[in-house]
Amino acid sequence: MNIAKMIDHSLLRPELTTDDVLRGCEVAARRATASVCVRPSDVPLAVTALRGTGVLIGTVAGFPHGSTTTAVKVAETRALVEAGADEIDMVLHIGRLRAGETDYVHDDIAAVVAAANGCVVKVILENAYLTDDEKVTGCRLAERAGAHFVKTSTGFAPGGATLADITLMRATVSPSIEVKAAGGVRTLDTLLALHAAGATRFGATTTEAILDDFAARERREGQPLGA
């Protein structure tokens, strides 16, 4: 089991300096994570820092509330892809989903998918604000709109990924859609439990601690975990 390749090393906190972002990119490169997820303005910085490492460049659109207009999300997505982003984590319009305006939510996501021009799009539902029925509707709309992942949270809401939400989301979407857990994934035990429930990608800030714990357990067991 390659835990590192399940992690999007998150560098989204608003107070991070340029040096903080560069140090985060160095961690991602050294630990060979799946990606970094950086703020939009940091995409060119991450592209330069991670060139040749195999670490993907992820970023966000409509973040963190999802309430910017579709035109703004589209323009942002196009600019970020042109700047070198490989993956776009977009926030759907939470209020419109709660209002039952499913055509709006679908079309908003579909427009970002089109603007991403083949790059991976992960749709953040921000489950802390949704009922289970709304989570199911959001997942189905994201899949119908062509997204590649559904994602639990931004990490900036009152709650993050839960076992119940991952189980629900995995059961809602088809096998062609992956599930990303974000918000509160700070320990190896949490990551492994959410992985068992169906998550295949994880947003994390405590990447090194998680990977160090995994390596230590493998040494104690004397064989690869998950083999």
Give the active site residue among 73, 122, 135, 151.
151
CA-to-CA distance for 26 and 11, rounded, in angstroms?
12
Give the active site residue among 8, 89, 108, 165.
89
List the structure tokens of 161: 């990924």
Whether residue 122 lies in the annotated active site: no
In three state form, how does the secondary structure of the chain look? CCCHHHEEEEECCCCCCHHHHHHHHHHHHHHCCCEEEECHHHHHHHHHHHCCCCCEEEEEECCCCCCCCHHHHHHHHHHHHHHCCCEEEEECCHHHHHCCCHHHHHHHHHHHHHHHCCCEEEEECCHHHCCHHHHHHHHHHHHHCCCCEEECCCCCCCCCCCHHHHHHHHHHCCCCCEEEECCCCCCHHHHHHHHHHCCCEEEECCHHHHHHHHHHHHHHHCCCCCC
Whether residue 180 lies in the annotated active site: yes
List the structure tokens of 146: 């062509």
Answer whether 8's CB lies under 8 Å from 36's CB.
yes
List the structure tokens of 28: 């991602």
Active site residues: 89, 151, 180
